[in-house]
Structure formats: C-alpha cells, structure tokens
Amino acid sequence: MVQTQRAVGDEGMLMVANAMMLLVANAMMLLVALAIVLILLLKVVCKIIWVPLKVQHVLKKQGINGPGYSPILNNTAKIRRLMIAEAESKSSCFTHNHETVVSRVMPHYYNWSTIYGKNFLYWFGPKPRVAIADPNLIKEILLNTTSFEKIKHNPLSKLLLGDGLVGLDGHKWAIHRRISNHAFNMEIVKGWISEMVDSTTKLLDKWEDVTSARDQFEMDVHKEFHKLSADIISRTAFGSSFEEGKRIFQLQNQQVSLVLEAIRSVYIPGFRFLPTKKNRLRKRLEKETRDAIRMLLNNCSRTANNSKSLLSLLMHPIKNQDDKQEAMDIEEVVDECKTFYFAGKETTANFLTWAFLLLALHQEWQSKAGEEVVRACRNGIPTAENIADLKIVSMILNETL
C-alpha cells in the first residue's frame, strides 16, 4: 500500500518536473523568437531610419542638403513621380534654353537644384542619391573607377538592357567593353557610312515625294527618325533590314513603357517574381526579344560575307594584353544586342529630332550647314573622308547634345 502510494507520488513528481521543463523550453523558445523578431526589427529600423538619417547628417555637415528624408511621409520617390506627371501634362515648349528643358524633362532635379543648390541629396526609398552638377566633381567621379560603382538599377530594367554593358561592372564589364570597342572600331564604323547614306537617301526621297505632292503637310519627324535609326542599326549592326529587325524594335518599344513605369517607382524586392498581368507581359516580351535576336545571330553565323557586321564581330573572340583569348557566349551577345538596339535607337532618334527642331528655330544655321555639306561633299553625299570637313555640322550636333 505504502509502496503503491510512493510510486504514485514519484509519478506525480515526474509529471510536474516534465511540465516545468516543457514550460521552461516554451519560455526559452519564446525568448529566442522574441530576440529574432527584435534583431530583425532593429535591422529594419537601422536600415530605414538610422542609416539614412546618419547619411543625411554627414552630408549636411559637408554642405549637401536636399528634401529631408522621411521613411513614411514625404517619400521623395513619390514626389518625383508627381512632379514628372505634372510636367508631362503641360504642353511642350520648344526652346533650347537649358532651364526650360531640364524643368520639363527632370522637374524634380530642376526644383531641388533651385532650392538646395547644384549638388543635393535625394532619396529612392531608403537609398540616398547625391546629384552632382559641379564639373570638377563629375570629372573626379568619372576618372575614379575604383571608389565609385555604377548605380544598381531596378532589376526590372534588365528586361530592356539585359546583362549588357550599361548594367555590368568589374571584370565582366571589362571583357564585354574590350570586345565591343573592337567591334565599334572607327575604321569599321566608317565602313558602315555607305549603308547609313543609303537609308538616309531613301528617307529624303520619301520626304521629297510628300513635299512635292502637297503645298501644306504635317510630318512627325520624330517617328521618321526612329524608323531611320532603327533601319541603320538593323543594316549596319545586324546585317538585316528594318523589316527583319522591326519585330525586335516593336517588342522593345512595348518593354520600354513597362520598364519606365517600373524604374520610376521604388522597387519592392521580389516584386518581379509575382505573376501580375504586367510582370507576365514583361516576361513574354523578354522571351520573344531574345528568341528573335538569337535567330538573327544564327542567320549571321551562317552568312560568311557578313564578317564586318557588329554581330559577327561580337561573336568573334579577341586577344587581351596578356595574349589570352576573351569571348562572349551566345546569351551574353544577346544581352549586348539588346543594349545596342535600345541604347542606339532611342538616343540617336531623339538626338536627330532635337537637332532638327533647333535648325527649324535657327534657320540661319540651317543655311550655313546646308552650304557646308554642298561645299564639302560631292553631290551632297557624305563619305568617310568628308567627316573632318563638316565643321559647322559638328558644331551644331555638339550644341544639340
């Protein structure tokens, strides 16, 4: 009987001890979970409050001010978007005045530089950006390639430029750059001039037909220049016609508006993997663009007489200063092609359009440029040898840039 009572007592003690151990274990687990939550919270606080405020404080001491940082209110990315939307809603004013142009194209930049000075600090979410307009500082930054890295772009912008030169850094950038420099060698570019003249002559003939048929007409020169630069890139770089390259440009155009929308917002990590309608469209456009470029690459490697085209030069290995072979694989070449399609067409078309607008506003320069072309080039058709003689044209183009 006594033995049975003792056994029951021992069992009770054991149960109490077990229960206590369970409680202690639970309490410890709760403490560990609380500690993890606390650490994560501290990390978040550090990242979105402490570090930005510290950066702001340090730069302020160096005389660099800007729209104050606030993690929730006064989000400068949002203000920037609103300013851009407001500027774009106003009708365009065609003047070469620097202030008018900047206040329309980059209203946030214009407004903040007026308030805070040429160099100022602004925010992309918790990420600081220092805008620099002092030429000496710009030179120092551009020459110092070790301390200053490229801005990390919104991952969605890769859809437009791929993993091409614009987004690359370090060793990989150096290899791609050496191969691209080799392909864009001045002698090779000069060899493309007859193709450029050919495309331009076709466009001028078309304009001639339109002007001779009607007294008054309206033409969207910007669209015409987009087609012209697309045609020239297709022919010189990709050894194809505008018609063949057209699909790639159409796909890229659709991607441009989607990517612009994305890069003007603060990027939320992981967002690009969500199967939203726009993300699915971005992915489909990316796949179709890559497939189309791959097809051009296959055609190019089959045609032996295309050895001077950009594509064949990009696919060709080169030797570096240590006599080692450097080459890009097919997907890397596709990435660079995406960059050239985009970086080459948009910039050139916008540049030519602005140059024409300025020539329309300053017709005395239009006459001087025309006279120079007639003087320097036989039949008004430029060749590689004429480039050095086109001084007024070069001045006008430099002023436009």
- Applying CB under 6 A, which residues contact ligand HEM? 165-166, 177, 339-340, 343-344, 347-348, 351
Closer residue to ligand HEM in complex, CB, 74/320: 320
What distance, in Å, lies between the first and last C-alpha atoms of the chain? 105
Closer residue to ligand HEM in complex, CB, 306/400: 400
Helices (H), 46-134: 51-61, 76-89, 98-105, 107-116
Which residues neighbour 190 within 8 Å (Cβ) at sequence distance 6 or greater?
384
| Rounded Cα–Cα distance for residues 315 and 319 (Å) | 13
HSE-CB at 123 with a 13 A cutoff on CA atoms is 23
CB of 38 to ligand HEM, least distance (A): 40
CB of 35 to ligand HEM, least distance (A): 43
Question: Look-up: residue for tokens 């590689």?
Answer: 384
CB of 176 to ligand HEM, least distance (A): 8
CB of 165 to ligand HEM, least distance (A): 4
* Closest residue to bound ligand HEM by CB: 344
Closer residue to ligand HEM in complex, CB, 56/337: 337
CB 208 within 8 A of CB 323: no
| Rounded Cα–Cα distance for residues 180 and 344 (Å) | 13
Closer residue to ligand HEM in complex, CB, 349/376: 349
CB of 354 to ligand HEM, least distance (A): 9
CB of 231 to ligand HEM, least distance (A): 13
| Rounded Cα–Cα distance for residues 138 and 144 (Å) | 10
Closer residue to ligand HEM in complex, CB, 168/262: 168
C-alpha closest to that of 64 among 150, 146, 134: 134
Closer residue to ligand HEM in complex, CB, 140/208: 140
